[in-house]
Each structure stands twice: as C-alpha cells, then as structure tokens.
C-alpha cells in the first residue's frame, strides 16, 4: 500500500473529506488556485536573501491597456456558453468570499507587527549542563564547509527521505542527516509501533509516573525505528477554546498540568536518547486560519496575547519543558501579535533563547517559515520540511538561498554557526553519537509506502533506485516489557468516572448475586457505533473520519493502529457467558421501533458515544479541524436519551461512556432518571476496550480526573472560548482579551456553575484529607536573585567562507525537488546593501528573569513545603489525586491592586492506598509558583505582604483543607 496519497495531503493546507474510508478531494490548494509562481506572502524581510536594494522602477503599462485578467475574460466571453460558465464561476468565488468573512476583508489593510524587535540571537552554550556537548559540537562545526552547515539546518524537502522531516548530512565530518517524525502519541506512518492514548488522556491520569513511562516507551520505539527527533510532546494549544481541533494532543487546560506532563514526557523520551520537540510555540489555539491560504486568505491569523498572559499561561509549560532540557522547540504556524511565530524575534530570541535560556534548536512547523534571512535573524535554526512557501516544490527559503545570503553578507556567518552548533550540540547532548544506539543509517521504515521495497526520495520523479525501505521491525516490546501494558494503564487511569448513582458500578462479571447456580440472570445491551470496530481503526488516512470506536483525534498527531480493541469485543469477553447475556448493537440507529425487545429485555444498557476533531488540513463530515460545537456527534445525545428511556422498559440502568477530543455538553440527558453512570474515557488508544472493561467490572478502581471543565453550554466558557470561524480581517485577529481567565479560572471569576469542574473524578472508594501543614523554607522576597553570568559560548571566526564551498560539485547529479545547499555559479552571489530588520542595531539587555535553562535559577528554588495526610476510608483499594491550589486573595500592599484568579493549580500528587491506609503527601512550592509576571519590571515578582492561601482537595471545587504561607 502506498502512503504517498495519504502523506501528500498532510500538513500542507489541503482540505480533504473522508467518509467511510473513501478519500474525496474537496478542493485544490487555494494557493495554487489564486496565486502565480511569482507571487509570495513573505514578510518584510523577504528581500534580504533575494536581491539587493534596487531604486529603479519599472515603467507602468500603457494607458487604457486592459489588465491581463480582463483580456482573458473578454476572450472567454466571445462564446456565450463559456461566458455563462465564467459568470457562474465568478459568482461561486464571490459567495465563497462572503462566506469567508465578507467584502470588508478587502477594504482592510494588514496590521503592522506589534511584537517588538529583539536582536541578535543569543548564542547557545551558555549553561554548564550543555557545555560538554557544545564544546564537541563547536569542534565539529569548525570543520564543516558552508554547504554542510546549510545541510544541517535545511530540510531536504517533502518526501525527500524516509521520515516526515529529513536534514542533509555533513559527510566529511561524520555528522549524519537527521530524521524527524510525528508525533505526540506514537510514531506516525510507522508499522509495528504502539498507538498510545492521546495527550488529553495522559493529562486525565494526573499520574506523573505514567507520564514518564509513556514518554520513555515512546522514545524507545522512536530510537529502535531510527528516528533522531520526535515531534512531541504538545502543549500548544493550551485549550483556550474547548472546541479547538488539536486540544487533544496536549494534556489539559491548565498550564501547570500541561507543564508537569510535558516535563515528565520529555524526561522519558530523552532518557532513550531521542530528541523531544515541544510544540507549538506559541498561540496555536485554533485550526481555522492557522496557515496562509489554508482558508482562502493570504495571511494566517494573529493570536494577540499580552505579556503577562503569555508568561503565566501559554508560555508556562514551555518554560517547564526547557527546564527539563528539551532538545527542540517547534514554532507555530500562525502569527503572534501580528508577526509570524517562526519569524518573531521577540518570541524566539528574547523570550525563548534569552529569558528561558533554551539551548537546543528551534525548528519550524512544516511550512510555517515565511521568510528567509528574516527568520534566521529572528531565531529560527532549522526549517522543515525544507520547501519554502509551497509544498513539494523543492524551492527553499534556505538551502541555496542561505548559501547566497552568507556569501553576500546579508546573513552573518556567526548566526549560521550558532544555528548549526545548536543542532549538533543537541545531537551530542542526547548521546546520538553512540553507535550502539544510533547507527547513522536513518529510519528502518518508510513514511511513504507500506511495501518492503521502495525509493528513499518518494517525492522526486528522478529517484528510481529501489531498495529495502521497510524492515518491519517490531518495537512494541514483549512480555512484561510490552508497551501495551503502559498504554492500557494510561487508558484506565485516564478514564474519568463522572456519575455513579446508586453505586451501579462496578458491575459483576457474574451478573446479579444468585443461588440458582450457573444460569443467565442478567442481560446487558451495548449500543452505539462508538462501541464497535466500524471499518477498522485505519480506514481513513491520518484517522480523518469518525467511524467505529474513537481511539484518537485526526491529523499529523495520529498514528497507524497496530490494533484497536473495541469496547464491545472486550466487554463480551469480560463477562461470564454462563450467567450474563451480552448483545451489542454497534450503530447509532438501532431498530428500536421495529424490534422494541432489544431495549425492553435489558437489565443494563451501556451506550457509547463520541465527539471527534483534529488538524485543519482534514475536513470530515463538515468539521474542518475545530469542532463546530460541543455536542456529541452522530446524534449521540438522541441515542443516549432513547436508550435511557426504554432500557428494561424504563426499569433498567443506563451507563454512558464517552470518547471525545475534549469536553462535551451533557445537560441534555445527564439528569434523566435512567442515567445511572457516566464515564469520560477521553481518547484511549489501542487498548480502549480492555481499559473500559477494567473500569466497568471493577478490576481497577477509577482514578481519572478531568483535565478540563465540562460546562452546561459553550457560552459558559466565555467569549474568548469561541473559535473564530469567519475571518474578521485580511489577517484574522484573535485577541486573547480574557487574559488569565480560561476554563476553571473563568468559571470561578464569573460564578458560573459547571456540570463537572476541572479536576473532578469519582472513585469506587472514599478518601479523607487531614493535617495540612505549611513549612516555610526560604523567606519571601520580591525579586529573584540577580541573573547568573553563565559560561562563555563557543567562539568562531566571523570570516565569510570561500564561495567555492557552496558551488555544485562537478558531475553531481541532482534529484528534482530535492533541496540542496549548492549554488550553480558564482554570479548567483549578488553583492549590495542588505538592510537588517528595524531594531536590529538596538542592543538588548539580558533579561533578569533568565540565566539558565528554564529562566533564573532562583525561580526553581523551593520556598515552602506543604504536606497533607490522605486516608482511604472506603471499602476498596484505589488511587486518589491530591490537588493543591494557590489563592492570592489574602495578599496586602501593592499586590492587592494586581488582578489574580480566584485560585490556580500549583501541584498534584497521585497515590495508591489500601482500605484504612494513610500516606503523607508532599508538595514543594517554588518562587515561580508564588510569583506573577510584572510587565513593568519585566520579571517574576513575589508579593511579600500578607499571606498566600494554600488549599488542598480532590478537585478545583472540592478543596477540603486550608493553610497559609
């Protein structure tokens, strides 16, 4: 089976509709439809790496000469039939324009960038924990030619190599090309690899150990498949909008939950020697308008985020990731404050590399780079997949253009040296020079075909060299080390018990208690297409359709399922067939009217329903990535209502299980008398059925907690929670005016009563909290200690290399569409005056919030210890999550005038307790936990007057004990 058709639609902004396994093109790329090859949407720095300034101008066309498009129209309309067709076509385009936001779009001018300049890029190699790797990298880079340096930083092009992203090697110094592969929940396009539960399910476990173990298993599979860079985990989107298409790739709607989960995942991945990539930096909160031309507009949308919100909310989990030593950061598609994220110098240079002390390399999302020299100066270190403004074109904004830019002086050689050194240092830092773990041969599987034989460069019509590209190596582990064990445990602990009226759960595998021996005494009916196998888990490319049971969302973050255990299959196997009669109806339209007995005869009815979404390049059933609403899909609400009213002729008990990419509105049926239990099972991955059977039959005590709030309506989440579905400008604007108040923070601020709050989750047993103790460790002080000096970065000669280093070698045969670093002739190098971006000559002082990985080291010092005794006072063993929230309400002095949320999560710990067992749970609170970002002082400030209120409990609204620091 050839994956080219599938992969060719991935990431590049083409919409496709997937229905029942059939792939139907909706429309061609709008970029192709409305732009000529000479047009571009480069930002203002495009000219820096193309031509020097030219003050001459071309003469205007002769007066009264009709425009080319008008002459073409006149020729077409010479025949009436063609004219009619043209008019119809124009009307369709006009209607599309109106649907996309109205004619007013074309009356507005793009907003100028609102993000301040921050130059030059801080060099890497300034912290002790990376010093050895940087020293090795510097020695290697000094031996590289210009062409080899460009190779290391530029992708080879889409489908040019076996991975989804590939860089060229530096052959003469022994540095291999790197293979980069999606994604956050498994290895995309790979065979014999695990389909782990999605990030949102991991977040719902609130289990740090599982977060780490899943990351380590994921990293091991990547290493054994020959992958250098894993494109995950994901903490952007944070989940500002509950219908956001990619929220499920992250861990939840709170920055602390996201940050801890990301750090644990990164630790696991990188302990296996694979470079983790934290993404998408920053503000990629919706799919609509995320890319240029993807929605018919020449510009991507702008996420407008104020300084404090960026630091305390959307940047917080990235800060945790940098502190964890993440090797790579992926910048996002859309603009941040009207400057493209991958060319935003304040974001990449100022915040990420200076303030947060990031030592690894910044890579672009696939085609998120919008300028050449401009993006390099702004802090981008690697462009992916290498192609420039169009997919699979082979025309890179770097590659030979970067060679020219260095040789003509428009890109400082020290910037290129730092870019390359960052990449090579990350390679050393992860131990990828160890031949026993990385043989330098690249992936042992192909992203583009399932056949054993194929070509390496599937995107080039010139590559005819067929060889073994798929070795079908099984990396899923076996026996006690099988990764399915971890996947199942995550799916179990990531299932959240929301309701359990009359303790209907857990069910007994033997049915009702009976003294009548082995005979059928309970009838269970399973309903809903989400309970069954459908057409198989891999029926649609990149999981881009909702059929059968829902195991993951869709897009580049999805993977091929090696198998998917359906709930119906697992439950039918789990019950004692001699005593329990199980029937399943894997459809959302059972024949209740024609065959009422299928409901009347049931004692227990289990209904499965779902809500799907994903990345914006796929459209399925009218959903273009972002969900259209928060309701269950495929008439799931009606199915649940109908089953609950008819189950056992109104006397039976209905249990509802929901698989979803995010929160869903439950209030249409949650309070119906027949609804006895509800489980939010999120996206459980390959072990779906086994996991839900474990919960329903009580093999495992449920311990999941909601990683988001479930409201009664979308309006409950506030105006900022709504997707921008229709453009409001040439550059669509999404202003995050709610600031810190998303999800539970918004519900708290405005007194909105949720259906189920953030952090909520029931158990089959009960827990009690006692003896909250707060122990000061360090005294309060307003500002962190002064920024440490750090160590000196590597030094390079700043001499422009000889142009011959970039010339195409004699006799070298190029492959079409492959991105090479070479220039064809010396005359391609055009000398001239190349102005740097505005503000480039302004020396930026180092941030006092910086100084090490993750920022100023003092931010990570512990200032208070908190402990609490947790006791299982129920009948069963089980796990409970102790959650710590911080309130700023009792502060005095200047802090009383600062706007703070009612409470914010600052820590959590999950423990297992047998009945009557007590454990003491400990929390460490750091300076950062007690601080807010002061936009005037540009630093983290800890209030020193008054007290911080510390509350511990089982959810954001069930806080049982209070203490003060």
Catalytic residues: 365
Element (H, E) at 223: helix 208-224
Using alpha carbons, select from 118, 123, 127, 124 the residue that is nearest to residue 348. 118
Element (H, E) at 580: strand 580-585
CA separation for the pair 796, 793 (Å, rounded) = 10
Using alpha carbons, select from 220, 152, 161 the residue that is nearest to residue 189. 161
Using alpha carbons, select from 653, 660, 675, 583 the residue that is nearest to residue 629. 660
4: helix, strand or coil:
helix
- Tell me how crowded residue 845 is: count the other CB atoms within 10 A of its CB: 7
CA separation for the pair 256, 320 (Å, rounded) = 9
Q: Which residues contact 482 (CB under 8 A, 6 or more apart)?
A: 476
Query: Is the bond leading into 282 cis (omega within 30 degrees of zero)?
Result: yes
Using alpha carbons, select from 335, 326, 407 the residue that is nearest to residue 378. 335
In 9-145, where does DSSP find H-type helix? 30-34, 68-76, 80-100, 131-141
In 301-439, where does DSSP find H-type helix? 307-309, 316-323, 345, 373-378, 400-407, 413-429
Q: Is residue 424 a contact partner of residue 433, using CB atoms and an 8 Å limit?
A: no
Using alpha carbons, select from 288, 279, 931 the residue that is nearest to residue 623. 288
End-to-end CA distance of the chain: 62
Phi, psi of 561 (to 5 degrees): -75, 125
- Cα-Cα-Cα-Cα torsion 158, 163, 167, 172, nearest 10 degrees, comes to -130
Burial of 798 (0-12, 13-18, 19+ CB in 10 A): exposed
Q: Is residue 399 a contact partner of residue 821, using CB atoms and an 8 Å limit?
A: yes
In 629-698, where does DSSP find H-type helix? 636-646, 688-696
Burial of 70 (0-12, 13-18, 19+ CB in 10 A): exposed
- The full length of the chain comes to 965
Using alpha carbons, select from 345, 180, 194 the residue that is nearest to residue 279. 180
Q: Which residues contact 348 (CB under 8 A, 6 or more apart)?
A: 121, 281, 331, 342, 362, 378, 379, 380
Q: Which residues contact 461 (CB under 8 A, 6 or more apart)?
A: 816, 817
Can you read off the two tokens belonging to residue 80? 């009436």
Work out whether strand 339-340 and strand 335-336 pair parallel, antiparallel, or are unpaired. Answer: antiparallel
Query: What secondary structure letter does DSSP report for 674?
Result: T
Q: Is residue 150 a contact partner of residue 160, using CB atoms and an 8 Å limit?
A: no
From residue 795, alpha-carbon distances to 413, 417, 545 in Å are 12, 9, 52
Half-sphere exposure at residue 950, Cβ-oriented, CA atoms within 13 angstroms: 25
- Tell me how crowded residue 963 is: count the other CB atoms within 10 A of its CB: 19
Q: Is residue 525 a contact partner of residue 540, using CB atoms and an 8 Å limit?
A: no
- Tell me how crowded residue 106 is: count the other CB atoms within 10 A of its CB: 9
Using alpha carbons, select from 418, 489, 527, 306 the residue that is nearest to residue 794. 418
Can you read off the two tokens belonging to residue 12? 């590049």
Using alpha carbons, select from 889, 816, 745 the residue that is nearest to residue 392. 816
């Amino acid at each position: 089976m050839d994956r080219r058709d599938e992969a060719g639609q991935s990431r590049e902004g083409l919409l496709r509709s997937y229905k029942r396994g059939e792939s139907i093109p909706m429309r061609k790329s709008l970029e192709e439809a409305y732009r000529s090859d000479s047009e571009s949407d480069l930002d203002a720095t495009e000219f820096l790496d193309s031509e020097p300034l030219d003050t001459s101008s071309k003469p205007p066309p002769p007066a009264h000469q009709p425009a080319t498009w008008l002459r073409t129209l006149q020729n077409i309309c010479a025949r009436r039939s063609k004219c009619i067709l043209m008019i119809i076509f124009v009307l369709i385009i006009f209607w599309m324009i109106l649907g996309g936001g109205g004619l007013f779009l074309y009356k507005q001018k793009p907003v100028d960038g609102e993000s301040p300049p921050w130059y030059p890029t801080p060099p890497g190699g300034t912290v002790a924990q990376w010093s050895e790797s940087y020293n090795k990298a510097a020695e290697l880079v000094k031996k590289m030619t210009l062409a080899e340096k460009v190779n290391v930083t530029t992708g080879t092009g889409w489908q040019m190599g076996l991975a989804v992203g590939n860089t060229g090697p530096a052959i003469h110094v022994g540095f291999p090309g790197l293979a980069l592969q999606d994604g956050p929940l498994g290895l995309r396009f790979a065979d014999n690899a695990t389909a782990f539960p999605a990030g949102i399910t991991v977040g719902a476990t609130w289990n740090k150990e599982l977060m780490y173990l899943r990351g380590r298993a994921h990293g091991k599979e990547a290493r054994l498949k020959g992958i250098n860079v894993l494109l995950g985990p994901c903490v952007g989107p944070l989940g500002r909008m509950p219908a956001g298409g990619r929220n499920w790739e992250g861990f939840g709607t709170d920055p602390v939950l996201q940050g801890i989960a990301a750090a644990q995942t990164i630790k696991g991945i990188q302990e296996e020697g694979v470079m983790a990539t934290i993404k998408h930096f920053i503000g990629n909160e919706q799919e609509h308008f995320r890319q240029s031309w993807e929605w018919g507009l020449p510009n991507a949308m702008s996420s407008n985020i104020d300084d404090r919100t960026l630091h305390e909310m959307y940047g917080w989990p990235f800060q945790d990731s940098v502190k964890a030593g993440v090797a790579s950061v992926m910048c996002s598609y859309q603009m941040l404050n009207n400057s493209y994220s991958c060319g935003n110098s304040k974001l990449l240079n100022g915040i990420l590399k200076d303030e947060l002390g990031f030592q690894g390399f910044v890579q672009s999302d696939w085609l998120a780079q919008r300028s050449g020299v401009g993006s390099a100066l702004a802090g981008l270190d690697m462009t992916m997949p290498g192609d420039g403004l169009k997919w699979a074109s082979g025309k890179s904004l770097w590659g030979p253009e970067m060679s020219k830019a260095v040789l003509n002086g428009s890109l400082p050689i020290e910037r290129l040296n730092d870019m390359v050194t960052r990449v090579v240092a990350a390679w050393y830092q992860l131990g990828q020079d160890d031949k026993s773990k990385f043989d330098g041969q690249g992936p042992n599987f192909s992203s583009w075909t399932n056949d054993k034989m194929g070509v390496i460069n599937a995107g080039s019509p010139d590559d005819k060299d067929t060889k073994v590209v798929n070795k079908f190596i099984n990396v899923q582990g076996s026996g006690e080390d099988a990764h399915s064990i971890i996947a199942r445990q995550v799916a179990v602990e990531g299932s959240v018990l929301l309701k359990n009226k009359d303790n209907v759960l857990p069910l007994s595998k033997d049915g009702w208690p009976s003294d009548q021996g082995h005979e059928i005494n309970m009838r269970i009916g399973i309903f809903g297409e989400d309970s069954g196998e459908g057409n198989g888990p891999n029926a649609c490319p990149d999981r881009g359709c909702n059929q059968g049971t829902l195991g993951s969302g869709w897009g580049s973050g999805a993977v091929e399922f090696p198998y998917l255990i359906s709930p119906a299959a697992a439950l039918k196997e789990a019950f004692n067939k001699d005593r329990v009669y199980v029937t399943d109806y894997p459809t959302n339209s059972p024949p209740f009217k024609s065959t009422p007995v299928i409901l009347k005869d049931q004692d227990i009815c289990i209904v499965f329903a779902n809500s799907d979404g994903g990345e914006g390049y796929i459209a399925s059933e009218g959903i273009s990535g972002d969900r259209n609403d928060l309701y269950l899909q495929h008439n799931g609400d009606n199915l649940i209502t109908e089953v609950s009213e008819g189950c056992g002729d109104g006397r039976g008990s209905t249990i509802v299980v929901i698989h979803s990419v995010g929160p869903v509105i439950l209030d249409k049926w949650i309070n119906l008398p027949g609804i006895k239990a509800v489980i939010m099972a999120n996206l459980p991955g390959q072990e779906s059925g086994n996991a839900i059977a474990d919960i329903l039959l009580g093999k495992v005590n449920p311990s999941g907690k909601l990683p988001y709030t479930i409201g009664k309506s979308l309006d409950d989440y506030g105006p900022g929670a709504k997707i921008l579905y229709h453009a409001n400008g040439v550059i669509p604007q999404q202003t995050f005016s709610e600031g810190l108040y998303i999800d539970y923070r918004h519900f708290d601020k405005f007194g909105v009563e949720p259906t189920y709050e953030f952090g909520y989750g029931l158990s089959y047993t009960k827990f009690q909290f006692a003896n909250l103790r707060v122990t000061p460790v360090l005294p309060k002080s307003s500002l962190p200690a002064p920024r440490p000096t750090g160590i000196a970065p590597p030094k390079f000669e700043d001499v422009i290399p000889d142009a011959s280093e970039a010339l195409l070698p004699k006799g070298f045969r190029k492959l079409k569409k492959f991105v090479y670093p070479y220039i064809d002739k010396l005359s391609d190098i055009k000398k001239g005056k190349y102005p740097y971006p505005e503000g480039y000559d302004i020396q930026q002082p180092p941030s006092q919030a910086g100084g090490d990985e993750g920022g100023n080291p003092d931010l990570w010092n512990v200032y208070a210890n908190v402990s609490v005794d947790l006791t299982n006072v129920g009948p069963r063993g089980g796990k409970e999550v102790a959650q710590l929230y911080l309130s700023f309400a009792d502060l005095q002095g200047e802090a009383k005038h600062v706007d703070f949320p009612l409470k914010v999560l600052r820590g959590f710990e999950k423990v297992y307790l047998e009945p009557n067992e007590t454990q003491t749970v400990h929390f460490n609170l750091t300076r950062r936990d007690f601080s807010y970002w002061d936009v005037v002082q540009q630093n983290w400030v800890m209030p020193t007057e008054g007290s911080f209120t510390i509350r511990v409990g089982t959810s954001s609204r069930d806080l049982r004990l209070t203490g003060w620091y």
